[in-house]
Structure 1
Amino acid sequence: MQRFRPYRLNQTVRDKYAEVHLSAGDFVQPYFVVDGVGIRQELKSLAGVWHFSIDELLKELARLAKTGVDKILLFGVLDSERKDARGSQAYAPNNLVARAVAAIKRAYPQFTLITDVCLCGYTDHGHCGLTDGQNVLNAETLPLLADMAVTHARAGADIVAPSAMQDGQVAAIRAALSAADCAQTKILGYSAKYASNLYSPFREAAQSAPAFGDRRAYQMDYRNISQALPEVAADIEEGADIVMVKPAHTYLDIIQRVRTQFPQIPLAAYHTSGEYMLLKAAAQAGLCAEIPTALEILTAIKRAGADWLITYYAQTITEHL
């Protein structure tokens, strides 16, 4: 008879035989930056997450630096009156995200700074690209995403992360970065991004909900597995340095398949706003202990094959490791 219980005798023994360990270097902390000064406003849709003006974000990063988390993902949040049909503030020189990137790099050069590249938070219709009636235009959107990536790279972003799910976006951005003498800037592709019901809290936080229709015409159908690997392969062929699966906790099978098929490329997984808030709500209702459950879920995402864990829990979890 094989005996397995000796491997589980006590915490010391369990730790000795544990195969997967979380560390601060695994995590990416997302932030939402807004125009203004002295703004630190907790979001109703995302408990424990804030809108920060640039000056307040710099203060917050001082706390993050103490945890050992060294990667951040930055989203710009724009007032509605500054949005237009073409999302022009997304790629305008010295725009909100560019100013935030420059300020962060001056104050905290040790952080790896990732910026989201998508038009949804900058267009008055809330879609991820240019539109013609109810249709999102793929080819016409690509140059604008490329311009946005170049704007971020010139400000000092280490990694640009196109999340618009437009065919060919990585190739367009890679070409534009090279032409702008920013070839050293890396690309994190939102390669297998599903049309999920778990994005609602984020859309309120980023003020990026679509004004009509939805995004199922360009984000992946959650019923499908077979499209994920070709999507990832296409991003790698186009020049992505890192790929991503989103959501994470509910897509462990996709993470595992991508890891197995593409072992050579770094793999990120985005533990989304809905996954985060479902856990928050369950803990508040007394259905689970929040931090131990979060540790279990995030460990499962890493166990499935993710190298980077993008999560609103990053700072909190690393304080408990």
Structure 2
Amino acid sequence: MTGILDSVNQRTQLVGQNRLELLTFRLNRRQRYGINVFKVKEVLQCPQLTAMPNLHPLIKGVAHIRGQTISVIDMSLATGGRPITDLTNCFIIISEFNRSVQGFLVSSVERIINMNWESILPPPQGAGRSNYLTAVTEIDGELVEILDVEKILDEISPVNTNISGTVLEDLVENGPAVRRVLVADDSTVARKQVQRAIEAIGCECVLVKDGKEAIMKLREMAEQGSIYEQLSLIISDIEMPEMDGYTLTAEIRNDPKLKDLHVILHTSLSGVFNQAMVERVGANAFIPKFNPDELGRAVKGAMPDVPATSA
């Protein structure tokens, strides 16, 4: 598995084409799961884990990898299954989410699969609020679940969504004339985090679950009148089922009624390729998740660039 991500730099060409690559894995159960390769730093056989006092119950232990101490999360236990007990043949997926690095303990790692985001679908209705899914897809006739890792991480170490006092005071006093922001994110937890930060500065949020729903909502609003009189800006995740944030941005720029909307890409993805992709698709800014002060300042900074009327 050491070479599974050797060609990750070559994979950046998939971004912006509504494509992704999934690394598939299994837990104790037969169910297959997937994670975006761009969130994976390394895959390795489970090293010796060190138990430490007062660790969260979902953390199996810590691993010392390349001079870094990394918390290792039992992904089976975190998603409501039995804990992984036999570590002999298990793997750790080292991943970077929301400006932090952590290890995901899994029973086995399979392969990388090139896919189109249109094949990645929202969880079925009736899955319930307690599920840990952001999306599902089908590979080789088998259902593959894409986990809401942000929800798992938030349960272990909740993110502070409060804008600090001095920043909040400035933002409220100098807020936008049109106080409505469209937020697109497939993670329930992430949508709520952004919503709390945005509503704290006096803005209303329009919440959608993916890029396809976002573009449909925007076009519906544009049919009712100038979009710029209804909306201040868009805050969009990048990884979303059916249509990713890059493709959403490109669709906005290609639509005469939407093309001048201010778009902030707000994502747990990291990497130097992001800035190049932001410029290629025409997004105005890229912000790694999740810093409420930084998000609030970005919202304020967007306002002078948003036209009052549409030509």
User: TM-score scaled by structure 1?
Assistant: 0.29
More helix by share: 1
User: TM-score scaled by structure 2?
Assistant: 0.30
